[in-house]
Structures are given as C-alpha cells and as structure tokens.
Chain A
C-alpha cells in the first residue's frame, strides 16, 4: 500500500509541475502582457517601463522559476484589476466555492447512490423507472434554468429562501441542489449499472448460499465492488464543481472562485487567471489522488499485487 501511495503521489507531483508550466505560459500566449496592462492609449515608452517593472523582459524560464517559487510560498503576485494580492483575493472566494462544492457533491452522492442501488435491486419496476426519470430530468435541464425555477418557486412565490447572496446557510440550499442535481444522473446510472453487473456475479450467489440477508448481500458484498468506478467519477465531478460552478455562482450571486475566474478572464487579469488555473488543476489532482487511494482501499486487487 505504501509503494502504491508513493507512486501515485509522485505522479501527482509531476502532473502539478506540468500544469504549473502550462498555466504560466498562458501569460505569453495571450499576447504581450505589458501592453495589456498598459492599456490601449499607452505610449511605447510606457509599455517598456511596465515591461521592465514587471520583469517581462527576462528569459521565460527565469520568470517561470520566479513565479513558481513565489507560488509555493502562496504568493501569486498582485491582481491587475483588484489591486490586491491574488492570494488574499482567492482565499476569500475559494471558501465559498469549497463549501458549495462539498455540499453539492454530498447532495449528489447521498441521492444518487441509494437511488442507483434501489433501481438495481428492482430493475424495470416503478422504482427503476422513477429513478431513470429523475436522472433524465437532471441531465436534460440546464443548470441556469433549474436555478431560476427554484428561485421563482422558493424565493418569490413561497418566500422561504433568499434568492441571492452568501450571508447564511440558507443561501446555500438552492445552489447545492442545482449543483448536486447536475452531477447526480451520471453517478446514479453508474451505480445502477455497476450494481446490476455485480449482482450477477458468482460471489453474490455464494453470499446468499451462506445464508446472508438480502441487505447484507447488497451493502456488504455488492456495493463495495460496484462503487469503485463511482468513486473515480465523483472525484472528477468534485474537481469540476470546485472549478467550474460559474453558472450556479452567477445565478445565486455567490461570489466564489468560479465567478472570480469569469471576472478575471473578462478583465485580462492574468495573475489571477494563472493562480486560479493552477488551483483548479490542483483540486483535480488532489481528488484523483484521493480517489485512487479510496479505490485501492475498496479493491484489494489494486493494492495487493
């Protein structure tokens, strides 16, 4: 298990370095950063002054090395637009996004897995059809529309929940549902398919032949083998939620990291974009690493050679 962990960890570090290099190169792929900062009406000497000030005239690798060492210390430079340290800016916004992401994936898992198991236990029955209907709805409804419908019902008509802002836990209920419902169908269908496959396995018959109860067969013998791909999928979706919930954050005016990314791109705020790309990629890397560990724990064939 230790060797496996170290191997995965090494891979994760390599991927992180690659991503950091890519995200740093972005700065130079989108044109001359100095003229972008200087603005349209700046003179050539102004641009040169800015280039010297920010150090854009140095060799690429030197600049990258500089940026990376500061990034490791948590220093991503100054935001061009917000005129404050990028790290402070992101830390503030990230807490909202992380809270939303954790709530969203929990909501998705807590609805999708039981529903998938129930559907697999009684295939082609009313339960299965209902689960299918719910997942098709989730797949088909765009998040922005579903979000607006929830606001109309629960904020405007019923006046139960606040439509926007991030002041209290009530603000997170609708965004959680919208974000979670988006991730739910895939997890549900994968759980159902995995369970159906596993339930036909010989070792399930063995468990029944031992005298195990149906619940024990389902949850001890079948589910553990069926959720391995679900864990991997959930990890990717979790990364997606932490990085890409721009739509949901905009609708509910939750000013999180997704929203910040959108703002920074629109305003050519490159240090912020670079930092966000690196952090979003880190999320994916961390969650993939964790899901590898979880799967190794679930399936001994991965960890014991």
Chain B
C-alpha cells in the first residue's frame, strides 16, 4: 500500500493554566492515506478540534504541541518554519470550520475571499483565480456563481456560507482536508446536503479527509476509519465496519447505544445515555479516564491501561481483553 499522507504519533497538547497544566490531548495517533476519510468522534472537550488545529499549525501560541511523529506528505510538520507552514496551509492542506456564520470576513466579498485563497499560493492573475472561484462555487452547488462573487457574507444563508467555505478550502486542490464539525451550526436538512457534498468532493478529488464530529449518524455514512476520542485520548480506532459491528471499548458502545435507529427504536423508548461527566484534565492523569463512568470498571482500571489491537488494526485501550458483545446491528441509518 501507499505511504500515509498524514501520520500522527503520540500527539500531546498541553494548555498551561493557573492551577496547573491541562493535558487536553494525551498521546493520540493515527495514519491516513490519500482518498481515505477518518472520522474523529467524541464529546465536547475531548480534544477533537485541538487535534485538527494542531495538524494545521493553528494552535494558539500559549498551547504546547509535541509528538513523536507529525508528518504530512513526508514533511515533518514539527520542524517547519512559520513561512513553510503558511505555504502548506490553504494550499496542500485546508480546513473547514464549524461556524459558517462567522468564519467569513464581513468586510470583503465572497469573490475577494475565494480569490485570495488561490492567489496566496499561485502566481497568477486575478482572472484565473476568478474563473477557479466560479468553477468551484458551481461544484459546491451554488447557482448563479458568477453573481455571487460580488455578494457579501451577510447576504448569504448559513448553508450557502458553508458551501462557500468548502469552495474556499478547495481553491488550491488540497491533498488533505480537515472539516471540524462542518454541519453542527446548520439545519438538519442542510446538514445532510453538506455532508453528501463533502463526501462526493473527497472521492472525486481523491483527497484525504478528517471529519471531526460528534454525530455518529454522519460517521456511519461516510467514514472509512473512525477514531473515538475521550478526555484527550483515542480510546478506540479502526475501520468504520469494525467500530460499528464490533465496538470494543465501553465508551464506544455507550455512544452507539445513544443513537435511535429508525424502525427499531420504539416511540417513547428510553435512549441510552452515559452517566457522569468528563473528568478534569488538569494535572497528572493515571489509569483509564473513563473508569468513573464505566459500567464494567474494576479497581485495576486506576492503573495503567493496556493498548490492545487485532491484526486488522482495530485498536482500543481497556483492561478487558474482549468485552466483545456484538452491537446487535445498531448501525445508525
């Protein structure tokens, strides 16, 4: 098989705080090949967004990033100068953010902002950038693209703005695209359209894609690989098939129980929930972070947690060899 386009090993992100250091991301890793979609799943505060910002080199300055390996297309991202990172960002790796309403600059037209993304990395004239912008707006399903160029963000709806953001990320045909909860702020019907669009474009342009989400329904539809994050760790990862058919980690199984399945979940039936709250990540962590909420926790969970994996690459962190109850076919629609 080909080399991975993105290789992340033992990534940690520390946030210095008044009361000590917050270990927001604690030694996570994954590999991603061209054309693959990795979904990072987890609840708010599990470190998903920080992980994507860390790959882009967009973490706030006071945060500390470390990794034993952080490579994009064989480029060591940890030893790139700011200038070199700028040449990669928006060019070979691009990002789509969660908040389409506020992610576009209110002072400039859509056209200006799309063209800027192209002109920053290509020594060509505006005409070419403009043609590219029109083509991409068409590609992301915006009608009358030509006339949209002179509009301002406040004249567009949330769904349209997110389409513009996607077009902007694609201006330089990136090899890696990171979408950080791209549909969270949108209506449910628009969510489905945007996700389908992203999945289609990813396939068509053969990009690697990281989709950060807390919506498992989304994951089931478009993921090749899934990484489940909890309290700054990847507690389980594997192919989408493995995660949904044979979830190993109690947290993953808990998440899957929370999803209603059309036709199977009866009206009024209690949906699953995971009791308790996410532990504080300030100070030193020991043992399994999930043990306080886990229904199969034991005393041993407070000490080191082994990492287990199958030959196919399905990996999880739990003291239980194989809690392997099947998921009873609970694949969300």
Which residues of A pack against B, CB within 8 Å?
A: 201-203, 205-214, 221, 224-225, 298-301, 304
Contacts and interface: CB of A to CB of B under 8 A. Distances in A.
B215 interface: no
B89 A210 contact: yes
Given A206-B97, A210-B168, A304-B155, A298 B107 contact: yes
Interface in B135-155: 152, 154-155
Contact of B88 (A208, A211, A213, A221): A211
A209 B90 contact: yes
Contact of A212 (B86, B97, B104, B152): B86
B87 interface: yes
Interface string B294-310: 00000000000000000
A289 to B, nearest CB: 21
16 contacts: A206-B104, A206-B105, A207-B105, A209-B56, A209-B94, A210-B89, A210-B116, A210-B120, A211-B86, A211-B89, A212-B120, A213-B86, A225-B107, A300-B109, A304-B152, A304-B154
B91 A299 contact: no
Given A210-B168, A211-B120, A203 B102 contact: yes
Nearest to B109: A300
A225 B88 CA distance: 27
Question: Is the contact region of chain A dominated by helix, strand, or loop, or is it mixed?
Answer: helix
Residue from A202, A206, A300 having most chain B Cβ neighbours under 10 A:
A206
A205 B105 contact: no
B153 to A, nearest CB: 8
Given A211-B91, A304-B155, A225 B105 contact: yes
A211 B165 CA distance: 15
A64 B91 CA distance: 68
Contacts of A224: 107
Contacts of B120: 210-212
B152 to A, nearest CB: 4
A213 B87 CA distance: 10
Contacts of A202: 97, 99, 102-103
B121 A300 contact: no
Given A298-B107, A301-B154, A304-B155, A205 B97 contact: yes
Interface string B71-108: 00000000000100011111100110101001111110
Contact of A206 (B88, B103, B109): B103
B180 to A, nearest CB: 10
Interface string B103-129: 111110100000011001100000000
A301 B152 contact: yes
A207 B165 CA distance: 11
B58 interface: yes
Given A210-B120, A210-B168, A211-B90, A299 B107 contact: yes
A300 B89 contact: no
A301 B154 CA distance: 7
Contact of B90 (A210, A225, A299, A300): A210
Given A212-B120, A298-B107, 17 more contacts: A202-B102, A203-B106, A205-B58, A205-B103, A208-B89, A209-B89, A209-B95, A209-B97, A210-B89, A210-B120, A210-B168, A211-B87, A211-B120, A212-B86, A212-B116, A225-B107, A299-B106
